[in-house]
Amino acid sequence: MRPAVRTVFKSTARATSSWRMRPSFLVIGGQRCGTTTIFKVLSQHPQLARPPVEKGTDYFTLHYSRGMSWYRSQFSLAATARARAYGHGDAVAFEACTYYLFHPLAIPRLANDLPDVKLVAMLRDPVERAYSAYKHEFARGFDVADTFDEALELEDSRLEGEVERILADPDYESIPHRHHAYRRRGQYAEQLRRVLDHFPREQLHVMDSELFFADPQRELADLLGFLGLEAWSPGSIEQHNARPGTSMSPQARARLTEHYASHDAELAQLLGRQPGWRS
């Protein structure tokens, strides 16, 4: 969306918030796990209405104090979405925000405001995810650590007390928690347990990035079935936001592999299967 059009949309959308869609499902994470690809693929489905401006609103993490009227204003007009979906089934709105899975308040807020919403979590080998996240944050200027090894050394001190600050002040935005949690964001089991503490298991669909990119049509069909959407294929599926670069150091890889062994075992127990990167 061009800047001028974006400005006009933001200035008029809130006045029409009651005419706009409420999301039926959310892609909640994880960061650097293929969620942009999933979002772009789903945005092509004739029944689906993505947010007109961004892929995610960050409402349940960063903008919750703005209220539900603001949140509704971020979505498409119901009439527009229904016209697009005509002949394919009901129109369905959605968004994708990878911070929802990790932020300590997002899931409780979601359960309070959208108790019937379906949730989609896409996971990836946490070792590869951590390094990809560092490259992403460094490239965008959010991390000044010169190497991934240095960022891992700094992580615990950077994140010390940040969850407590978020819980104490719901309007507090923690830069370290959002941008520097390379190791902790890959501890998936504890994040999914928080989801399951607030939502029934049948409202959560967990995908593996490795399995999705190996056989995207099959994984997409499973996802559409979970969402109750019309069977559909986009043709080709391209990976988005991949960041080429130097390889991870052997030392960092070894440390992370050891660190995640117990966390992946917990995840396998929670899912009732081995995650794709352990299969």
Residue 131 pLDDT grade (very low, low, confident, very high; cuts 50, 70, 90): very high
Each residue's pLDDT tens digit, 24-50: 999 999 999 999 999 999 999 999 999
In the predicted structure, residue 10 carries a pLDDT above the cut 80 = no
Q: Is the pLDDT of residue 132 over 70?
A: yes
Ranges 13-17, 27-31, 73-77: which has the least confidence: 13-17
153 has a pLDDT exceeding 60: yes
- Band the pLDDT of 279: cuts 50, 70, 90: confident
More confident residue, 145 or 170: 145
Reply yes or no on whether the pLDDT at 245 is more than 90: no
How many Cβ atoms from other residues are within 10 Å of residue 181's Cβ?
22
The whole-number pLDDT of residue 18 equals 84
Report the pLDDT averaged over residues 55-74: 96
Q: Which domains does the chain possess?
A: 3-278 (3.40.50.300)
**pLDDT tier for residue 12 given thresholds of 50, 70 and 90:** low
Omega prior to 161 cis, within 30 of 0: no
Report the percentage of the chain scoring pLDDT > 70: 93
What's the chain's average pLDDT?
94
Look at residues 64, 40, 30 and name the one whose alpha carbon lies nearest to residue 173: 64
How confident is the model at residue 15, as a pLDDT? Answer: 78
Question: What pLDDT, on a 0 to 100 scale, did the predictor assign at position 221?
Answer: 97
Residue 269 has pLDDT above 90, yes or no: yes
Report pTM. 0.93
Does pLDDT of 4 surpass 60? Answer: no
Is residue 8 scored above 60 in pLDDT? no
With 70 as the cut, is the pLDDT of residue 101 above it?
yes
